[in-house]
Chains A and B, each alone.
Chain A
Amino acid sequence: MKLGLVVDLDTCVGCHACATACKQWNTSGTIGPLSDERPHGKDPSGSWLNRIHSYEVGDSPHSKTVNIPMSCMHCETADCVTVCPTGASYKREEDGIVLIDQDKCMGCNLCSWACPYGARELDSDSGTMKKCTLCVDRIYDEQLPEAERQPACVLTCPTSSRVFGDFDDPDSEVSRLTRERAGQQLMPELGYNPVNTYLPPRNPKQQESIAVTPMQGVKQLVNRIINR
């Protein structure tokens, strides 16, 4: 099994619901609690496992705002696993999820140096590194109804921009979306082979603008409806 996420950059509106749902779940999730420094003070800073960066692609007037939520990509050849000296960081063989054993991490930060995507952050309160667990404690939880055995971020997304599934299964939703929408990896040239796939924004055809007299307009409209 190669579990991961597909994130649709076309429909993500940058609402941060996935980031806050993740922070809420991991209040008591397997990698929680996620601490906050100066929560009511100047420059508050805390542990978040998912963050949304917003970019402007292109120059005005052809620019587009793209919101990119980034969490651990659960890379196939994850250097964060290779460099970890204590063995706290590891990739599970059964489903490919990369986890950090909180009892073993010594907080040397080397894994965050190795991660190109900024997935790993040091939790200053626990002194250990924390990152997305792909909600491993949700997806296998038999006490949850089947439909809810998905990561918190996927369930909460109001635009359904996040999909969870098995990339090894060619019929899964994530595999289908990657094929049909030309899903991409971020920074593939580094060779980490991230599993999380991002669907690029669709390019709608430019609408024709025709100056018409009212009568012609109706005729063209009727023709267009008939042809469709």
Chain B
Amino acid sequence: MAGQGLYDGPQPTEEHHKERLKTYFDPLPFYYPPLEQQRTDAKEYPFFAVNQRPMFMYHSWDSQNAWLRQIMSQNYLYMHRSKGEALGIKDFGWAWVESHNGRIRAQVKLMEGVNPETVWTWNAIAKQQGTWGLSDDANESQQGFLMNHLINELLPGEAEADGHRMTNSDPITGQAAWYDLRVKITPVGADETDLAEQNLTWPRFDKVKPLPNFTPASKVSSYSSHPNINISRGWRDIFSRGAK
């Protein structure tokens, strides 16, 4: 209603803002293609890309958690097997993933149980070198990847009348529209970049300098709150028991 000029309180001044309010704040639900996808060429960027936090790291970061990162310290881009094979990408092969905003290099895992036009990954696994108390060669900084570099906070295309581009977010809640992303995927060719680079993610950033008084983690961690109480087996049992 504010878009229609019928509201008593603050009203938008810009015309495109009024249009936006009028269109999307319809009380009845209606379908429209996601805003970013209206401005991206589906033929050039054929895959939808989404991501999710793994269950054991839900609502938290946890790459600094010594146990949880043993379950996952590297993420893969999951892709339908038929699509991967059609593009010439092998299981655990590396590929360039590109959007209108940028590109990344990721390791691909082929699977059955995914929509063929969608690729997905576990998010927030990758970390910058030198952060989170991890060692310089930690898998998070060397093999992990973030879809962040493919996503822009602004919609692609021309600026609006006021000189600003529209925000890439849901018109009603303002939530960042991460899952509207479309990408194209090409296998990493044998001639591109040196061989040493082929098993590493891209982009990788300069190492963050450690904070003062930072001590690196030890190579072995064996924590217990008290010495374990071992259940001992007697000698008589050892000598007398047969196979059962």
Contacts and interface: CB of A to CB of B under 8 A. Distances in A.
Interface of A: 13-17, 19-20, 23, 27-46, 48, 56, 58-60, 63-65, 77, 81-82, 87-88, 90-91, 99, 101-104, 124-126, 136-137
Contacts, number: 133
A101 B228 CA distance: 12
Nearest to B226: A28
A44 B66 contact: yes
Contact of A13 (B55, B133, B216): B55
B13 interface: no
A42 B139 contact: yes
A13 B56 CA distance: 11
Task: Categorize the interface residue count of chain B.
Answer: 35 or more
Nearest to A102: B230
B70 A45 contact: yes
Interface in B205-235: 216-226, 228-233
A36 B233 CA distance: 27
Given A30-B229, A35-B220, 17 more contacts: A17-B56, A27-B224, A28-B224, A32-B228, A36-B66, A38-B219, A39-B70, A39-B217, A40-B135, A41-B134, A42-B137, A42-B139, A42-B142, A56-B112, A60-B116, A87-B238, A101-B230
Nearest to B64: A40
A56 B112 CA distance: 7
Contacts of A34: 222
Contacts of A65: 113
B123 interface: no
Contact of B222 (A35, A44, A59): A35
A34 to B, nearest CB: 8
A36 B221 CA distance: 5
B55 A14 contact: yes
Most chain B beta-carbon contacts within 10 A, residue among A15, A29, A101? A101
B199 interface: no
Given A20-B56, A35-B222, A82-B243, A60 B112 contact: yes
